A and B are shown apart, each in its own frame.
Chain A
Amino acid sequence: MNDAGEPGYNFAYLDESTKRMIRRAILKAIAIPGYQVPFGSREMPLAYGWGTGGIQITAAVIGADDVLKVIDQGADDTTNAVSIRRFFARVAGVETTERTAEASIIQTRHRIPERRLSDGQILVYQVPIPEPLRFIEPRETETRKMHALVEYGAMHVKLYEDVAAHGRITTSYNYPVLVNGRYVMSPSPIPKFDNPKMDMMPALQLFGAGREKRIYAIPPYTPVKSLDFEDHPFSVERSDRPCALCGATDTFLDEIVADDRGGRIFVCSDSDRCGEQRDQVASGDGAAP
Chain B
Amino acid sequence: MYVAVKGGEKAIDAALDLLARRRRGDDAVPELSVDQIDAQLSLAVDRVMTEGSLYDRQLGALAVKQARGDLVEAAFLLRAYRTTLPRFGFSEPLDTARMALARRISAAFKDLPGGQILGPTFDYTHRLLDFALLAEGRPSVTDVVRHAAGEVQPAMPRVTDLLADEGLIERDGDMTGAPADITRDPPHHPAPRDARLQALSRGDEGFLLALAYSTQRGYGGNHPFAGEIRYGEVAVHLHVEELGFAVDIGDIEATECQMINQFKGGGDVPPQFTRGYGLAFGHAERKAMSMALVDRALRAGEFGEEAASPAQDEEFVLSHCDNVDASGFVQHLKLPHYVDFQAELLAVRALRAAFQDKEAAQ
Contacts and interface: CB of A to CB of B under 8 A. Distances in A.
A42 B343 contact: no
A258 B335 contact: no
A77 B86 CA distance: 35
Given A38-B186, A267-B2, A43 B11 contact: no
Interface stretch (B77-85, B164-172, B215-223, B239-247): B77-85
Given A48-B329, A50-B332, A43 B324 contact: yes
Contacts of B336: 72-73, 78, 80
B78 to A, nearest CB: 9
A191 B186 contact: no
Nearest to B15: A79
* Residue from A43, A79, A172 whose CB has the most chain B CB atoms within 10 Å: A43
Contacts of A141: 189-190, 315
Contacts of A81: 8
A49 B343 contact: no
Contacts of B79: 43
A189 B340 contact: yes
Given A38-B186, A172-B344, A265-B1, A44 B331 contact: no
Interface string A1-26: 00000000100010100000000000
Nearest to A211: B325
Contacts of A49: 328-332
* Residue from A128, A191, A213 whose CB has the most chain B CB atoms within 10 Å: A191
A280 interface: no
A77 B6 contact: yes
A47 B76 contact: yes
* Residue from B2, B325, B330, B343 whose CB has the most chain A CB atoms within 10 Å: B343
A282 interface: no
Contact of A213 (B7, B186, B335): B186
B189 A140 contact: yes
A192 B189 contact: no
Contacts of B162: none
B339 A74 contact: yes
B329 A211 contact: yes
B189 A43 contact: no
Interface in A237-273: 237, 239, 245, 252-256, 258, 265, 267, 269
Given A141-B315, A213-B186, A213-B187, A72 B342 contact: no
B185 A40 contact: yes
B223 to A, nearest CB: 28
A167 B358 CA distance: 12
Given A40-B184, A82-B8, A258 B340 contact: no
Interface in B310-328: 315, 319, 324-325, 327-328
B350 interface: yes
Contacts of A74: 339
Given A43-B82, A110-B339, A111-B339, A79 B2 contact: no
Chain B facing A: main interface SS? helix
A73 B339 CA distance: 6
A237 B345 CA distance: 10
Given A47-B331, A77-B6, A253 B342 contact: yes
Nearest to A259: B1
Interface string B194-226: 000000000000000000000000000000000
A118 interface: no
A255 B1 CA distance: 11
A173 interface: yes
A39 B186 contact: yes
Contacts of B184: 40
A213 B185 CA distance: 9
Contact of B332 (A47, A82, A237, A258): A47
A12 to B, nearest CB: 12
Interface in A189-229: 189-193, 211, 213-214
Contacts of B329: 48-49, 128, 211
A258 B186 contact: no
A193 B354 contact: no
Interface string B4-37: 1111110110000000000000000000000000
Contacts of B76: 43, 47
A9 B86 CA distance: 12
A41 interface: yes
A160 to B, nearest CB: 17
Contacts of B86: 15
Nearest to A252: B339
A10 to B, nearest CB: 8
A167 B347 CA distance: 12
A153 interface: no
Contacts of B186: 38-41, 213-214
A50 B328 contact: yes
B347 to A, nearest CB: 4
A153 to B, nearest CB: 22
A265 B11 CA distance: 24
B39 interface: no
9 contacts: A42-B83, A50-B328, A79-B11, A141-B315, A172-B344, A173-B339, A174-B340, A190-B339, A193-B343
Q: Which 7 A-B pairs have the closest CB atoms?
A: A48-B328, A49-B332, A38-B186, A47-B328, A49-B329, A191-B343, A172-B343
Given A82-B12, A269-B339, 10 more contacts: A41-B186, A43-B324, A47-B76, A48-B327, A50-B332, A77-B9, A78-B5, A86-B12, A141-B315, A172-B347
